[in-house]
């Protein structure tokens, strides 16, 4: 079966671009399961119930998140209610939401695990220990891991740590697609970062002039989402009957006009 994993969707332009691209993505890749990283859905940061619903209405099956998941307080109850939106599992146990979920797709039970890197980000527990604990108790045919992390070394290390134990380790958070997509020796698909779904006429989805102003003046600047030249980025993992990967293919397609 095939899993289509879409990188960080940034704001309204990203949401609309993904929705417009969905028919082409389905026709081209025929995915059985679509997982989307959605912590930038609302404006330039955060997720809300409304913006999550927009992704589900567009055909998303599971939404993963990251360090901006709690940006909007009103999302807390939604995270506790939803079994199709996950937040990093190695956050404090008492935090709203869940760190993994299991969904039916293609006649199989698929685990979707969300982890945060510990280097440069705030977590309660090591992502390596946390994922080991989850894999001991999760009941599924295979798992896909969204590793939301700052540095490539930690992402690559996680790929090797999980090689042969999960179908895929897909890196997110840095919004820039990397060129290292491959299947590791024991059958785990890996890529350091799948990229983002949003404007390429931007700095990580934000209007360039605003980022430049902040970096040059070192003064606070209110970010605004860029809207031009929206692309959808991600990866497709082909999972075999053993619950491991036969292949991984990077996805980078321009969103059609909408």
Output the DSSP codes for 170-194.
EEESS-S--S--EE-TTS-EEES--
> What CATH number corresponds to the domain at position 155?
3.60.21.10
Strands 196-199 and 230-239: antiparallel
Residue 258 a catalytic site member: no
Those residues with Cβ within 8 angstroms of residue 181's Cβ, 6 or more apart along the chain or in another chain: 189, 190, 191, 235, 248, 249, 250
DSSP label of 234: E
The residue to which tokens 């980078």 are assigned: 252
In 38-164 the beta strands, taken as DSSP E runs, fall at 62-64, 100-105, 108-116, 142-148
Q: Is residue 179 part of a domain?
A: yes
Reference 188, options 3, 34, 64, 62; nearest CA is 3
pLDDT value at residue 46: 92
Q: Is residue 258 part of a domain?
A: no
d(CA 7, CA 55): 13
What is residue 44's predicted lDDT score, i.e. its pLDDT?
A: 60
pTM, rounded to two decimals: 0.95
Range list of H helices, the chain: 11-29, 49-57, 76-81, 127-137, 152-162, 208-217
The single residue listed with the structure tokens 């993994």 is 100
Q: Which residues of the chain have pLDDT under 50?
A: none
Q: How far apart are CA 40 and CA 47, in angstroms?
A: 6
Quote the DSSP letter at residue 85. B
Q: What is the pLDDT of residue 27?
A: 97
The count of structural domains within the chain is 1
The confidence score (pLDDT) of residue 42 equals 81
> Which residue in 68, 72, 148, 173 is the catalytic one?
68
Range of the domain at 118: 2-249
User: Cβ of 66: how many Cβ atoms within 10 Å?
Assistant: 24
10 Å CB burial of residue 131 (0-12, 13-18, 19+) is: buried
Distance CA 76, CA 69 (A): 9
Distances (CA, A) of 173 to 36, 37, 67, 215, 233: 12, 9, 9, 20, 13
In a domain, 98, yes or no: yes
Q: Let me know if residue 254 belongs to a domain.
A: no
In a domain, 126, yes or no: yes
Q: Is 136 exposed, middle or buried (0-12, 13-18, 19+ CB in 10 A)?
A: exposed
Q: How far apart are CA 186 and CA 177, in angstroms?
A: 24
Q: Which among 176, 244, 228 has a CA at the least distance from the CA of 16?
A: 228
Per-residue model confidence (pLDDT) at position 257: 81
Tokens for 120, please give them.
Answer: 């440069």
Run of H or E including 39: none
Asked whether residue 255 is domain-assigned, the answer is: no
């Amino acid at each position: 079966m095939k899993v289509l994993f879409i990188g960080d969707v940034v704001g309204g332009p990203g949401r609309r671009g993904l929705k417009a691209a969905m028919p082409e993505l389905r026709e081209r890749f025929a995915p059985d399961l679509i997982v989307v990283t959605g912590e930038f859905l609302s404006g330039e940061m955060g997720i809300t119930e409304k913006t999550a619903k927009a992704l589900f209405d567009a055909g998303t099956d599971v939404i993963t998140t990251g360090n901006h998941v709690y940006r909007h307080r009103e999302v807390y109850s939604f995270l506790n209610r939803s079994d199709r939106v996950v937040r990093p599992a190695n956050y404090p146990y008492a935090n709203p939401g869940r760190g993994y979920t299991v969904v039916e797709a293609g006649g199989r039970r698929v685990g979707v695990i969300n982890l945060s890197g510990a280097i440069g980000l705030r977590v309660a527990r090591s992502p390596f220990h946390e994922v080991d604990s989850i894999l001991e108790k999760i009941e599924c045919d295979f798992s896909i891991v969204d590793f939301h992390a700052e540095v490539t070394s930690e992402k690559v290390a996680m790929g090797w740590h999980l090689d042969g134990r999960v179908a895929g380790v897909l890196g997110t958070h840095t919004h820039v697609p990397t060129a290292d997509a491959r299947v590791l020796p024991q059958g785990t698909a890996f890529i350091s970062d799948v990229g983002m779904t949003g404007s390429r006429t931007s700095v990580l989805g934000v209007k360039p002039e605003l980022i430049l102003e902040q970096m040059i003046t070192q003064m606070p600047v209110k970010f605004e989402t860029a809207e031009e030249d929206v692309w959808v980025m991600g990866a497709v993992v082909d999972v075999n009957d053993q619950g491991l990967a036969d292949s991984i293919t990077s996805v980078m397609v321009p969103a059609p006009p909408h």
